Structure formats: C-alpha cells, structure tokens
Amino acid sequence: MKIELLSITPNAEKIIERCTRICYNSEDKTTDISHEKFLPGIIKRGHVSPLSFAHAVFHIQEISRACSHQLVRHAHLRYLQRSQRYCAENDPHYVIPEGIHEREFAKDMDHAWEGYRQMQEIGIKNEDARYILPNACETEMCVAGNFQAWFGFLKLRLGKHAQQEIRELAQLIYKELNYQCPDIFNQTNLLVQPKLNLDFGE
C-alpha cells in the first residue's frame, strides 16, 4: 500500500483559524501561534465545520477493490479510480487479507485471471471480462476532500473495529495529515480509543 499527498492548502491551520474567528469577533486575538490552542478548542466543542475551509488530495496505490468499496462510502470525499473498463488487468496484482492461507489464495487468484484471459482471447471486452475478477484485485485512485471530510474518515477508520486494510490506509493518511496539520489531526481531537500504537509520533 502506498499513498502520496498531491496537494494541501498552504498554511491551512492559520487560514481555518482566521476564518473561524469571524464567528466569534475575535480576529484581534490572532497571533503566530494562537491556532495551536484555538483549533483544538473549537473541535472539542464540536465546531468542526470550519475544517471544510482547507483541502487535501491523495494518490493511493496498491489497495484492493474491497478496500476501495469501503472508502467510497465516505460520500463527502471525491474519487477518481483506475478503470477496469478501459484498462486491462493482464498482470495478476492482488491483495491477500490477513487470516487467509497465501498459497491457497494464490491458486484461486490464478483461476480468476486465467478465466479473465480466456474471455479476452475470444473477444470479450474488458468491461465485461472484469466481472470474473475478485475484490482482491489491486486498484489505485486519487481521493480529494476538505479537512472536515478527512477528519470524519479518520474518526471512523482509525478505530480498532475497522477492517485491517482500510485501517492501515487510515493510519498512513493520518500520519501525513498529522505531520502537515498537527493541531487538527491528532489522536486527542479525533477521539481515537484506545490510543493507537503507531510507529510514528503525533
């Protein structure tokens, strides 16, 4: 699994603070570091709509179609995904979930791709042949969203109840957003319980 941050609103935390202080007529209290306390304060009070005033775009690779199906359920994010209609899946790249025997799973994947190739050989279009491909098939996509949408995604998918693959994806996205905007994207603000034992700091 790979992610790449393609774009993010410059000075996002300061912009969000500047816009939000209009609500409270407190622009005069803005300093170079005032966002460090201000942003966690509004989030704690449930005032998260100002997060929509900043934006981030990620390129996500080597996730399964099963994972992408979970991801697109987050309706406030926007998606562009590699098409199985226009792109041939001739190389068998797939994700093996935890708890499944790798050798047996590989045999099943080989059968699926052999059927796919046989359909192509007799002239069936990719858009129809793809129906035989499994949810384990790798995909890639670009995902865009404002910070409020990303905040909501992380609150749901960082939790221990989330399925392993999308939780791993959420951890990678959290790592990048935490690095870029630590006063918004941290485990205290996101109410992640229990605290994640991640191999990177906040």
- C-alpha distances out from residue 116 to 64, 66, 107, 136, Å: 17, 18, 14, 14
Tell me the C-alpha distance between 49 and 67, whole Å.
Answer: 27
**Tokens at residue 27, please?**
């622009």
Do 149 and 74 touch, CB atoms closer than 8 A? yes
- C-alpha distances out from residue 45 to 41, 50, 89, 162, Å: 6, 12, 48, 26
Number of H helices, E strands in the chain: 8, 4
Residue showing tokens 């109410």: 191
For 118, residues 6+ apart whose C-beta sits below 8 A from its C-beta are: none
Residue 167 known to be catalytic: no
- CA-wise closest residue to 50 among 25, 12, 16: 16
Phi-psi region of 30 (alpha: psi -120 to 50; beta: other; left: phi over 0): beta
**Catalytic pick from 45, 103, 157, 167?**
157
The residues annotated as belonging to the active site are: 157
